[in-house]
């Protein structure tokens, strides 16, 4: 069996890895994975790693989960794929029924795409097209939050605001209205999350007041701006936003691609604000992290605005080849079955408490500005100066040092800049959480010692 080094050499001859400066791999090894089981990944040299980031936030119930595997094997022998234009299949019907059931009341229709970015594209296009169909031709713009992230395709990138990914492509991107985020990292000392989020909402109110006639929708990542360094805010912001969107006649798009399926402690983050968005984008955990599939949930009134005689040209003529792929849908059904039979949302409460207790002492570290948590996501913000919160220059790549240390200790922790975080599969044990926090602390010591 070839070793890590042999796989890496072959890999580097032909691959171009995502989100990577390939030159880094002159000194930073690629880790070729031979197999996965539960929270563990194993490489070709026999090293094992706890997947603390759920392989880019997708995995919910462990790698090679026996229940999802069994469902997929069955599906594979029944139907691997079929065109969804004019055709249908059992898995997509059952999944749609269940998604309508579990998402907030009023989201009655599912439109499928095949990854998160395309779901965002669908929601943006549907919102715009809805207003066109309703004769509101001036509505052509979108409102987004600073520090947001919605994917890498051009429209998804345009409504995002992470400079690292966006800046280069700026000349290609549509113009959006960017409102300061409710990101509670910037709250005043002694100010509560809810007070700060509420205070930040005033800026959104002003933007909507000024621009609502030209705005189709506001798009947000509910409660956690994940790619934007796991910055978090209070549900009050979403409650107020829902109310304002209704008042101003603007759609609300909730991008729950990263936070959906239990990450924030509830099945969907919107539940904590008791709101129903006009569009909810789902992906990642939708298939338990097995296969690329995404869904955009929307309401009957929006669906109805497209429903007319063909010649009216009101139809939503958007498609992707793998829309509603049966294997993806079946993995999703198996995933939802685990949520139900194992009462996962309630069971996770214990893990949430363990993560909280285990990470609390990290706040005392001289280079940790904040330890923050929403449900199954905990993030540790490293800073150069704890008192002034002066950040480490990004060029120093402190987080990368934590990544390297963690690999040497059997953990896949992939920080975002200077933010180290845990977003583990739900099959992690309390002991494994403690082990990860220990590794994280060692890594933080190493990364901040000079």
> Judged by CB under 6 A, which of 41, 120, 236, 334 binds ligand PMP?
120
Q: With CB under 6 A as the contact rule, which of the stretches 7-15, 148-156, 182-190, 298-306 interacts with ligand PMP?
A: 148-156
Nearer to ligand PMP, 43 or 278 (CB): 278
> Judged by CB under 6 A, which of 53, 126, 226, 422 binds ligand PMP?
226
Q: Where are the beta strands (DSSP E) in 292-375?
A: 294-298, 368-374
228 binds ligand PMP (CB under 6 A): no
> Judged by CB under 6 A, which of 63, 139, 150, 330 binds ligand PMP?
150
220 binds ligand PMP (CB under 6 A): no
258 binds ligand PMP (CB under 6 A): yes
Q: How many residues does the chain have?
A: 450
C-alpha 340/C-alpha 129 separation (Å) is: 36
3-state percent breakdown (helix, strand, coil) of the chain, nearest 5: 45, 15, 40
C-alpha 342/C-alpha 345 separation (Å) is: 9
Least spacing, CB of residue 120 vs ligand PMP, in Å: 6
Nearer to ligand PMP, 260 or 405 (CB): 260
Distances, alpha carbon 341 to alpha carbons 87, 172, 336, 345, 394, in Å: 31, 47, 9, 11, 44
181 binds ligand PMP (CB under 6 A): no
Nearer to ligand PMP, 207 or 226 (CB): 226
381 binds ligand PMP (CB under 6 A): no
Q: What are residue 379's DSSP bridge partners?
A: 372, 421
Least spacing, CB of residue 327 vs ligand PMP, in Å: 17
> Judged by CB under 6 A, which of 113, 219, 227, 297 binds ligand PMP?
227
Residues 267-326 that bind ligand PMP (CB under 6 A): 283
Q: With CB under 6 A as the contact rule, which of the stretches 2-10, 188-196, 197-205, 220-228 interacts with ligand PMP?
A: 220-228
Residues 38-67 that bind ligand PMP (CB under 6 A): none
> Judged by CB under 6 A, which of 54, 75, 103, 115 binds ligand PMP?
115
221 binds ligand PMP (CB under 6 A): yes
Name all contacts of 430-433 with Cβ < 8 Å and 24+ positions apart: 430/350, 430/351, 430/354, 432/39, 432/50, 433/351, 433/354, 433/355, 433/358
Nearer to ligand PMP, 133 or 287 (CB): 287
Q: Are 378 and 359 in contact (CB under 8 A)?
A: yes
φ, ψ for residue 320 (rounded to 5)?
Answer: -130, 145
**Three-state secondary structure along 32-64?**
CEEEEEECEEEECCCCEEEECCHHHHCCCCCEC
Tokens for 153, please give them. 């395709």
Q: With CB under 6 A as the contact rule, which of the stretches 47-55, 109-117, 190-198, 410-418 interacts with ligand PMP?
A: 109-117
C-alpha 218/C-alpha 254 separation (Å) is: 9
436 binds ligand PMP (CB under 6 A): no
Q: What are residue 297's DSSP bridge partners?
A: 110, 280
Reference 91, options 101, 80, 102, 105; nearest CA is 80
441 binds ligand PMP (CB under 6 A): no
Q: Are 47 and 410 in contact (CB under 8 A)?
A: yes
Interface with ligand PMP by CB under 6 A: which residues? 115-117, 120, 149-151, 221, 226-227, 255, 257-258, 283
């Amino acid at each position: 069996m070839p070793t890590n080094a042999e796989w890496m050499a072959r890999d580097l001859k032909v691959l171009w890895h995502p989100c990577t400066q390939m030159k880094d791999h002159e000194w930073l090894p690629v880790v070729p994975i031979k197999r996965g089981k539960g929270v563990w990944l194993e490489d070709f040299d026999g090293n094992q790693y706890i997947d603390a980031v759920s392989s880019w936030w997708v995995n919910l119930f462990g790698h090679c989960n026996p229940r999802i595997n069994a469902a997929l094997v069955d599906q594979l022998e029944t139907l691997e794929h079929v065109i969804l234009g004019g055709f249908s299949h059992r898995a997509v019907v059952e999944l749609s029924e269940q998604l309508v059931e579990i998402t907030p009341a009023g989201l009655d229709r599912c439109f499928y795409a095949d990854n998160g970015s395309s779901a965002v594209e669908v929601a943006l296009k549907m919102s715009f097209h809805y207003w066109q169909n309703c004769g509101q031709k001036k509505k052509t713009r979108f409102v987004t939050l600073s520090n947001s992230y919605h994917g890498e395709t051009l429209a998804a990138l345009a409504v995002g605001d992470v400079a690292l990914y966006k800046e280069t492509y700026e000349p290609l991107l549509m113009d959006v209205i960017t409102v300061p985020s409710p990101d509670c990292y910037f709250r005043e000392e002694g100010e509560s999350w809810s007070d700060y989020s509420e205070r930040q909402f005033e800026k959104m109110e002003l933007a909507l007041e000024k621009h609502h006639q030209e705005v189709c929708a506001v798009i947000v990542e509910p409660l956690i701006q994940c790619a934007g360094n796991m910055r978090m805010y209070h549900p009050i912001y979403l409650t107020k936003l829902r109310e304002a969107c209704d008042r101003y006649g603007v759609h609300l798009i909730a991008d729950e691609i990263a936070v959906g399926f239990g990450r924030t402690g509830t099945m969907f983050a919107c539940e904590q604000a008791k709101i129903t968005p006009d569009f909810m984008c789902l992906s990642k955990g939708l298939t338990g992290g097995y296969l690329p599939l995404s869904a955009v949930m929307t309401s009957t009134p929006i669906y109805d605005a497209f429903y007319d005689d063909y010649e009216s040209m009101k139809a939503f003529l958007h498609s992707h080849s793998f829309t509603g792929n049966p294997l993806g849908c079946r993995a999703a059904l198996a995933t939802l079955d685990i949520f139900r039979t194992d009462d996962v949302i309630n069971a996770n409460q214990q893990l949430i408490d363990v993560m909280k207790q285990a990470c609390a002492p990290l706040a005392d570290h001289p280079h940790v500005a904040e330890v923050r948590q929403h449900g199954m996501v905990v993030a540790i913000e490293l800073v150069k100066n704890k008192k002034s919160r002066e950040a480490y220059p990004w060029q120093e790549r402190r987080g990368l040092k934590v990544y390297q240390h963690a690999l040497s200790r059997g953990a896949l922790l992939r920080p975002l800049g200077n933010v180290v975080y845990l977003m583990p599969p739900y099959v992690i044990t309390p002991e494994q959480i403690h082990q990860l926090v220990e590794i994280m602390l060692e890594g933080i010591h190493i990364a901040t010692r000079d």
